Amino acid sequence: MLENWLQPTDFIKKNYNEDQIGGNTQFYNKKFPNLENMQIAIIGLTEEEANGVRIHFYPLAHHFPNLKIADLGNARKTDTNFLIPLLKELLQSQIFPILIGNDLSLIKAQQQAHKQSVKSPRNWVSIDDRVRYDANFKTGFCQIIGSQIHFSSPSEVTKVEQKGWDYLSLGKARSDLKQVEPLLRDADFLTINVAAMKAIEAPAQTASSPNGFWLEEICQLARYAGMSDKLASLGIYGFKVEGAPDRLTTQSVAQIIWYALDGFYNRKQDYPFRKNNLMEYTVAVKDHNIEITFWKSMTTARWWLQLPHKKTNVHLIPCAYEDYKLAANGEISDRLMTILRRFE
């Protein structure tokens, strides 16, 4: 069925050895891979960019024993309505798609596939160089990470704030990447605009700037996201191979994907569907007249909080140890204030 939306890639397994990612990947070349028990599917939404990334991704070292990876080739068309059923089928099959495309408009297909695959609100995390309001994303919550205010128009910022979405500036994100982890842990799907990086490390980005994340920082964020038990897809957009002065951009994207896989492989399955592996801490914040229950995972030492709003149907929300410490001292962190506004 998936073959209807995809065309084969020229990359074949025999060119790689068992110590490389390519030597442990099933390729859609002449025959479509068997997707039974498959965990990861790499798909080019635009062929030239995806092939550029493949050149640098598949020779990378393979440190993920038993991780089932398939390269399903490239989409036959880039039309949103064409891509949605492809991505929807993968999501419903519990296969994690990694999407590579040149244009930010391709994000719409990823959004809509998630909308049609689940009934509950979806959390979208967008790593981007500016605050963007996306009218296509009508239900769910969007968290923008890495925005630069000098690129963000006041009207877009106002729309995002009125929608109840949130954004974290580049400066705040870079000042302490560990504090970004709870935001990524709450994502159902992640999109990365390559323009969020410094142009010196990704010169083929479609909107280049000297400011942005360093590659090692983006890779760390990708690893945090990959470790989330909730995250169901990753899309990387915003770069064009044609006319690029060098291969730095495709090398950078290849490494971002590698670290996302590293996170995926090291998932701890501690998303708290049950609370039997959690330690409970209840804090009464008197100045705000609110009682908050915090939960600490005994497996990973990661933290969640539970709000006393029954109507939200939200059980636990990722947070950081610092949020708990501040609450215990009678203070509300910026992150917690955002969460309170989101569910008030």
The answer to whether residues 228 and 80 belong to one domain is: yes
Look at residue 336 in the predicted model and tell me its pLDDT.
84
Greater confidence (181 vs 330) lies with 181
Average pLDDT, the chain: 91
Considering the domain boundaries, does residue 132 fall inside one? yes
C-alpha to C-alpha distance for 336 and 331, rounded to whole angstroms: 10
The answer to whether residues 186 and 325 belong to one domain is: no
Which 3 state secondary structure label does DSSP give 331? coil
Look at residue 242 in the predicted model and tell me its pLDDT.
77
Region 136-162: what's the mean pLDDT? 94
Region 185-196: what's the mean pLDDT? 96
Region 201-227: what's the mean pLDDT? 96
Region 5-20: what's the mean pLDDT? 90
Look at residue 139 in the predicted model and tell me its pLDDT.
82
Considering the domain boundaries, does residue 270 fall inside one? no
Considering the domain boundaries, does residue 102 fall inside one? yes
pLDDT per residue as tens digits for the range 266-325: 998 887 666 678 899 999 887 777 888 999 998 889 999 887 655 555 567 899 999 999
Look at residue 240 in the predicted model and tell me its pLDDT.
93
The answer to whether residues 323 and 237 belong to one domain is: no
The answer to whether residues 261 and 321 belong to one domain is: no
Considering the domain boundaries, does residue 17 fall inside one? yes
pLDDT per residue as tens digits for the range 49-63: 999 999 999 999 999
Q: Indicate the number of domains in the chain.
A: 2
Considering the domain boundaries, does residue 323 fall inside one? yes
Look at residue 132 in the predicted model and tell me its pLDDT.
96
The answer to whether residues 63 and 176 belong to one domain is: yes
The structure tokens 């609450």 sit at: 327
The answer to whether residues 144 and 229 belong to one domain is: yes
Region 66-74: what's the mean pLDDT? 97
DSSP string across 169-215: EHHHHHH-GGGGHHHHHT-SEEEEEGGGB-TTT-TTBSS--S-SB-H
The answer to whether residues 45 and 153 belong to one domain is: yes
Greater confidence (127 vs 309) lies with 127
Greater confidence (12 vs 6) lies with 6
Greater confidence (298 vs 180) lies with 180
Query: DSSP strand E in the chain: where?
Result: 6-7, 25-27, 40-44, 69-75, 96-100, 123-127, 141-147, 166-169, 189-193, 233-237, 278-285, 290-297, 303-306, 317-319
Angle between helices 107-117 and 80-92 (to 10 degrees): 50
C-alpha to C-alpha distance for 323 and 334, rounded to whole angstroms: 9
Considering the domain boundaries, does residue 272 fall inside one? no
The answer to whether residues 200 and 307 belong to one domain is: no
pTM for this entry: 0.94
pLDDT band for position 245 (50/70/90)? low
Considering the domain boundaries, does residue 273 fall inside one? no
Domain final residue pick, 238, 265, 292: 265
* CATH code (residue 85): 3.40.800.10
Contact yes or no for 143/183 (Cβ under 8 A):
yes
Look at residue 138 in the predicted model and tell me its pLDDT.
85
Domain final residue pick, 265, 294, 309: 265
Q: Is the pLDDT of residue 243 over 70?
A: no
pLDDT per residue as tens digits for the range 14-57: 889 999 999 999 999 989 999 999 999 999 999 999 999 999 99
Look at residue 274 in the predicted model and tell me its pLDDT.
65
Segments forming the whole domain that contains residue 338: 278-342
Six-digit token string for 43: 């798909």
The answer to whether residues 293 and 241 belong to one domain is: no
Considering the domain boundaries, does residue 253 fall inside one? yes
The answer to whether residues 257 and 290 belong to one domain is: no
Q: Is the pLDDT of residue 338 over 90?
A: no
For 43, 141, 164, 322, the CA distances from 235, given in Å and listed in that order, are 10, 17, 23, 30
The answer to whether residues 313 and 215 belong to one domain is: no
Q: Is the pLDDT of residue 218 over 60?
A: yes
Domain final residue pick, 209, 231, 265: 265
The answer to whether residues 84 and 175 belong to one domain is: yes
Six-digit token string for 80: 């949103």
